[in-house]
Structure 1
Amino acid sequence: MSKIWPWVKNPWFETVLEAQRRSKAFLPPSVYAALVAGSERGRTPQDNLDAFAELEFAPHVAGHQPERELSTTILGIPVSMPVMISPTGVQAIRPEGEVAVARAAANRGTIMGLSSFASKPVEEVAAANENTFFQMYWTGTRDAMLQRMERARAAGAKALITTTDWSFSIGRDWGSPAIPERMDFAALYKMAPEGVLRPSWTLTWLKAGLPDLTAPNLKPPSGPAPTFFGAYGEWSQTPPPSWEDLEWLREAWGGPFMVKGITRIDDAKRAVDIGADAISVSNHGGNNLDTTPAAIRCLGPIADAVGDQLEVLLDGGVRRGGDVAKALALGARAVMIGRAYLWGLGANGQTGVENVLDLLRMGLDSALIGLGHKSISELSRDDFHIPEGFERVLGDTGEPAPDSAAEKRRTPRKPAAERPVEKTIQ
């Protein structure tokens, strides 16, 4: 077996790309395709990756610092490095799914982002990582959303993320892979041709007792949890939210609040207007409108416009610690990772996710050494060359904000770290 899978004797991998290779070898082709695919042509996920390489470091050759500080805070939560787990739906590429990811993040001193469409309930995930942020889509009735928020709060969620960048795409040029509604014997039988090729994956699920593949965090107060596609159906039939809806969501939650999915300056300013504490510059990993620019191309202009009014994070294409350094230099407080940790989960479960986080930490530290910095707070645009035309300035009208919006910006909310998370919704 070691000749076929040499990493059985050496489970450590030295790059996220190697984790991806091992995931591809472990997972059935259809499951792997669901992780790697973007919408339509798949141009945006590729640009998310390629854009980082266009930013060229300008390292020093002497005067390097013997000690470097990588820690920071995200929405008032101390983290060991400026990297947190981005919420991704249905992490059941292994039976332990989101719980394994949460434990890995806790062991490496960072935050777990949990999706509404996760395969594990918020109670189990928050128990595995006390610093869990719960992500909500605008789906179902307001009463249902209030119930989900209260459930997340009761479980110990420290912040709420509303994802707004998954609304439009309806297909992929190579076809959307089928995902079984339940991981039962019927599903395994249907996937038998793939399962024969991936016996380790099949055995892993058999040992776990074939748990249901549902969306437990969308379970109503009475009745069973919906299947993933049942939950998707509810979301697709819910009218999309307005900015007023998102402001209601922020007020109903009452604690630290992040809007995920910003690529335009005007949208970033609207997030400020509704009282958001943070935004994530993101194109949903390329699973929204294809040919949307890479998130890193949009980051700098957005951070310049609103970075002094809320925390700006980047989500999209991060595979190396050097990518983290570049995002911070362009104004991000931290980055969120998605596919990178999913590759780690597929490659080696919880240990694989810890492996990915270790690689990012080591890569970020190496960047600080080469640039001669002693802290991530010293990173700036002077640390690399930005080619002409690299950045994308989207939605900058140049027009002043309405009086009401301008007033909100002059009187910002108390910082998230100074506000209590607990609040009973009336």
Structure 2
Amino acid sequence: MTQWFETVAQAQRLARRRLPRSVYKALIAGSERGSTLRANLSAFDAIGLSPHTAGQPAQRELATRVLGQDLSMPVIISPTGVQAVHPDGELAVARAAAARGIAMGLSSFASQPVEEVVAAGAPTFFQVYWSGSREQIAERLARARRAGAVGAIATLDWSFSHARDWNSPHIPERITLREALRFAPEALTHPAWLASWLRAGELPDLSVPNMVAEPGTPAPTFFGAYGEWYGTPPPSWEDVAWLREQWGDGPFVIKGVLRTDDARRAVDAGATAISVSNHGGNNLDGSPATIRALAAVAEAVGDQVEVLLDGGVRRGSDVAKALALGARAVLIGRAYLWGLAANGQAGVENVLDILRSGLDSTLLGLGRGSVDELAPEDLVIPPGFEVRLGG
């Protein structure tokens, strides 16, 4: 029970105690000053709720259908890169998602191969960057489809910032003897984390097998994959439309939309869904909080595509606020990583249970019988809160 927690904030505190300092700092850091990272959180706090006193429904329906999948609640695992916070990494997350009836977003920079993650049982959406040649990108998408991925996510909100002014730890490309000696004090002072890796018979590895284009090719390290991305010219909207064609039938999500004109271009490029995202505050610092831009983007696309939101979700009430402003579902990132760090698969399930309980409690207080009933009138939105970018 010492590994069980009641809030996502408590999961974060447990993760901080369990993880070596450098590993934890890699999770919490944002680009440059971290202004957008903090704004994602504070913007949710600025929105109030409008509760009812009596007459609330005795039962609430949290299940919904998103991206062609029936989910137990409108929460999706956001794809995040190499998950060295726990030896099982994305496999533990996928198993937790399957156990709780939600979908899994899998990064092409993940530490576990797409075939094994899909086999864990959760509907899996494979995330791809515009990185490398068209042939390499097409092969990654084809491999994901062969593995059984049900949809694709094109991440376009990681394209500007290459520096962090704060909380930027040294991350080794590989655990060499020299790096092992360098990190030994951190590891030895966090014995639970170290013991979990020793039991697994391995040390943290920043290889990314999903970037392998051909069988038998060694998986590049995270920094090798990053270098390939950094050296690839940014995609045009014609490139994005080509990406959509490569995926073919099935959901295709464009992640990283904050502007209404970009939202409309995403529709024209063939997206079936867009995610209002600023890469969790790890892209262009000074970008607005995603929840502030959500309503304008949702209005711009209407019912042409599904709208998701990514950034700053820590509570079930945050999920409700996003849905009330036009999102079909939210994606979570740091929240589940803290659960993974704190207690592996059980920790991720714990985080999902917290969000589910909080969402249900919010529906009860608002007098709503279903997540589909949430509307702007359920919220107290301060003047000037919403941001419209792109006209």
Query: Per the shorter chain, which TM-score range?
Result: over 0.9
* Residues 1:164 and 2:159 aligned together: no
Aligned partner of 1:214 among 207, 220, 223: 207
| CA deviation vs aligned residue, 1:23-53 (integer Å, no higher than 9, x gap) | 0000011110000000000011111001011
Identical residues among aligned pairs (%): 64
Aligned partner of 1:264 among 259, 265, 282: 259
Query: CA shift at 1:199, angstroms?
Result: 1.4
Checking the alignment, whether the CA contact within 8 Å between 1:133 and 1:160 is kept in structure 2 is yes
Aligned partner of 2:23 among 24, 31, 38: 31
* Residues 1:292 and 2:287 aligned together: yes
Aligned partner of 2:364 among 365, 369, 379: 369
| CA deviation vs aligned residue, 1:341-397 (integer Å, no higher than 9, x gap) | 01101111110000000000000000110011111111001111111100100011x
Aligned partner of 2:185 among 172, 189, 193: 193
Aligned partner of 2:344 among 340, 349, 354: 349
Query: CA shift at 1:95, angstroms?
Result: 0.8
- How far apart, CA to CA, are the structure 2 residues paired with 1:216 and 1:345? 20
Aligned partner of 1:358 among 347, 353, 360: 353
Aligned pairs for 1:229-240 (under 5 A) are: 229-240=223-234
Checking the alignment, whether the CA contact within 8 Å between 1:281 and 1:314 is kept in structure 2 is yes
Name the residue aligned to 2:132.
140
Aligned partner of 2:334 among 336, 339, 342: 339
Query: CA shift at 1:184, angstroms?
Result: 5.7
Residue 343 to residue 307, structure 1, CA distance change in 2 (3 Å): farther
- How far apart, CA to CA, are the structure 2 residues paired with 1:370 and 1:185? 56
| CA deviation vs aligned residue, 1:63-101 (integer Å, no higher than 9, x gap) | 010111001111111000000000000112111000000
Give the partner amino acid of 1:192: A
Checking the alignment, whether the CA contact within 8 Å between 1:264 and 1:302 is kept in structure 2 is yes
- How far apart, CA to CA, are the structure 1 residues paired with 2:114 and 2:173? 20
Give the partner amino acid of 1:248: W
- How far apart, CA to CA, are the structure 2 residues paired with 1:105 and 1:186? 37
- How far apart, CA to CA, are the structure 2 residues paired with 1:223 and 1:131? 27
TM-score of the superposition, structure 2-length normalised? Answer: 0.97
Aligned partner of 2:220 among 219, 226, 246: 226
Aligned partner of 1:111 among 103, 114, 121: 103
Checking the alignment, whether the CA contact within 8 Å between 2:26 and 2:167 is kept in structure 1 is no
Name the residue aligned to 1:244.
238
Aligned partner of 1:79 among 66, 71, 80: 71
Residue 64 to residue 175, structure 1, CA distance change in 2 (3 Å): closer
Give the partner amino acid of 1:366: S
Structure 2: 5+ residue runs without aligned partners? Answer: none
Query: CA shift at 1:180, angstroms?
Result: 2.3
Query: CA shift at 1:202, angstroms?
Result: 1.4
* Residues 1:176 and 2:171 aligned together: no
- How far apart, CA to CA, are the structure 1 residues paired with 2:63 and 2:261? 31
Give the partner amino acid of 2:108: S
- How far apart, CA to CA, are the structure 1 residues paired with 2:50 and 2:98? 34
Aligned pairs for 1:404-423 (under 5 A) are: none
Larger radius of gyration: 1
| CA deviation vs aligned residue, 1:305-356 (integer Å, no higher than 9, x gap) | 1131100000000000000000000000000000000110111111000000
Give the partner amino acid of 1:74: V
Please identify, of 181-190 and 167-176, the stretch whose mean Cα deviation from structure 2 is larger. 181-190
**3-state secondary structure, aligned to 2:43:** helix
Aligned pairs for 1:383-402 (under 5 A) are: 383-396=378-391
Equivalent pairs, count? 388
Checking the alignment, whether the CA contact within 8 Å between 1:329 and 1:381 is kept in structure 2 is yes
Give the partner amino acid of 1:166: W
Checking the alignment, whether the CA contact within 8 Å between 1:188 and 1:195 is kept in structure 2 is no
| CA deviation vs aligned residue, 1:198-244 (integer Å, no higher than 9, x gap) | 11111211221225330000013142000111111111001110000
Query: CA shift at 1:19, angstroms?
Result: 0.2
Aligned partner of 2:297 among 298, 302, 305: 302
Give the partner amino acid of 2:355: L
Aligned partner of 1:276 among 271, 280, 292: 271
Query: CA shift at 1:186, angstroms?
Result: 4.7
Query: CA shift at 1:256, angstroms?
Result: 1.4
TM-score of the superposition, structure 1-length normalised? Answer: 0.89
Name the residue aligned to 1:415.
none
Residue 76 to residue 132, structure 1, CA distance change in 2 (3 Å): same
- How far apart, CA to CA, are the structure 1 residues paired with 2:198 and 2:171? 17
